Each structure stands twice: as structure tokens, then as C-alpha cells.
Chains A and B, each alone.
Chain A
Amino acid sequence: MLARTKHFGEINLDESKIITFDNGILGFEEYKKYTILYDNEDGSRPDISWLQSLDEPALAIPVISPLLVKEDYNPAIEDELLKPLGILNEDNIVVMVSITVPPMFENMTANLRAPFIINSDSRKGVQVIIENSEYEIKYRFYEKLKALKAAKGDK
């Protein structure tokens, strides 16, 4: 199918890449169909992807793996909340968190409190809210990112 996107113009999207969020995501409950997009022109998958709405081209949320900014990220999530996704295992579970990037990059934050959980087999997703308030909604990670980049540079 042809899909209009916020950052990559019109693209040809394989139907198998469509992810359904039956409950939508908070604030955008009316949009249910999404896909994960990233630019892999240079052959490798970048750390940054976009959760792109297929119902509203202007809606795209930048997402990253939470492990990138918090290595021990392992929140407890009620099984009931994940039931709609079907059977999850190590191979099909995809966990992403949104990031907010203001003009002052050092103020960027990741929302560790409300991850997107996707089953890549059933291609269903949910955004869950974690009970544990130690996981911040506005987790600042610029310093962490700088350290990561420095480490990459050393290799």
C-alpha cells in the first residue's frame, strides 16, 4: 500500500508492516494503525525510529529502545495488559519508548513510564503505563547519549 509519512514522504509499505494499536495511544485514541519507520540508507539500523500513524500522516513519534538510555530497564507489566497482543516471547517482543526533542537538545527526555509494546508476530501493539513511578515520564538522557557517543567514538 502507499502510505504518506511525516518524514519520508510517500512510501510503499508492505501490509505485513502494519501494526494495530486497538486502543490507540494516549492523546491519539482515534488512530489505530501504525508502522515503525527508520532510515537505513547506510545499511545499518539507526537507534532512532518513528512510530508513524497510517491514519494521520502528520503523526509520527520518535522512538528508541529504552535499553539504550537505561540498561537495566525491566519494568513489571501486568500480564492482562499484554494479553491482547497474543503470545509474547523474547523473539517477537518489541519495546520502544517515545522521546521528546525540544530545540535545546540537552533538555530531551524519554518517556520510560509509558512504553510501546509490540508483538512482531501478531503485529499488535499497546502503550502501557507502568505502575512503578521510578520510571520517569520525562527521563533526561542527554548526558547518557553523549557518553554513548563518546564510547562509540573510542571503538
Chain B
Amino acid sequence: MLALSRKQNESIMIGNDIEITILEIKGDQVKIGINAPKSVSIYRKEIYLQIKESNKEAAEASVSDEVLKKLFK
């Protein structure tokens, strides 16, 4: 992994159109600003992983349509 040191208000460019700025450093938290094209999805990683997992779980449950219909009837 590439590691770069940055101070508050300094930025990093990823390619030509993604800019990441360190907005604020406070104790153990860093506030990051991201400028990116709208087509780029940005997620907090832990949430991203949880949603991925949730989609998989929902798809993999082996419950049938018949059973589900009854459940919701």
C-alpha cells in the first residue's frame, strides 16, 4: 500500500479527477473531503462490506416463494 504523509488542508490526487483532502485532524479522528466524478461510488468501508454481506445473505437464504408468500399473507 502506498503511504503518504499529509497535513491539514493538503490533498492527494488519484488520477486526474479524484481529489482527497485532509480537512481536519482532531484527536483520533480525521475528516476527509473527497472530490470525485459522480460515477464513482464512495462508501465507508465497514458499511460497504456489511451491505455486500447483507445482499449475499438475502440472496442465499433458501426460503421458497411459497413459504415467503404465506409468511406475508
Instruction: Give A contacts to B, CB under 8 Å.
Output: 7-8, 23, 25-28, 39, 46-48, 50, 59-62, 64, 80, 83, 98-102, 105, 111, 113-114, 127, 129, 137-138, 145, 149, 152
Contacts and interface: CB of A to CB of B under 8 A. Distances in A.
Contacts of B38: 80, 83
A111 B61 CA distance: 14
A25 B53 CA distance: 11
Interface in B32-73: 38, 41, 43, 47-48, 50-59, 61, 63-65, 68-69, 71-73
Contacts of B59: 28, 59-61
A60 B53 CA distance: 15
Interface of B: 38, 41, 43, 47-48, 50-59, 61, 63-65, 68-69, 71-73
A18 to B, nearest CB: 19
Looking at B43, B72, B73, which has the most chain A CB atoms within 10 Å of its CB?
A: B72
B71 to A, nearest CB: 6
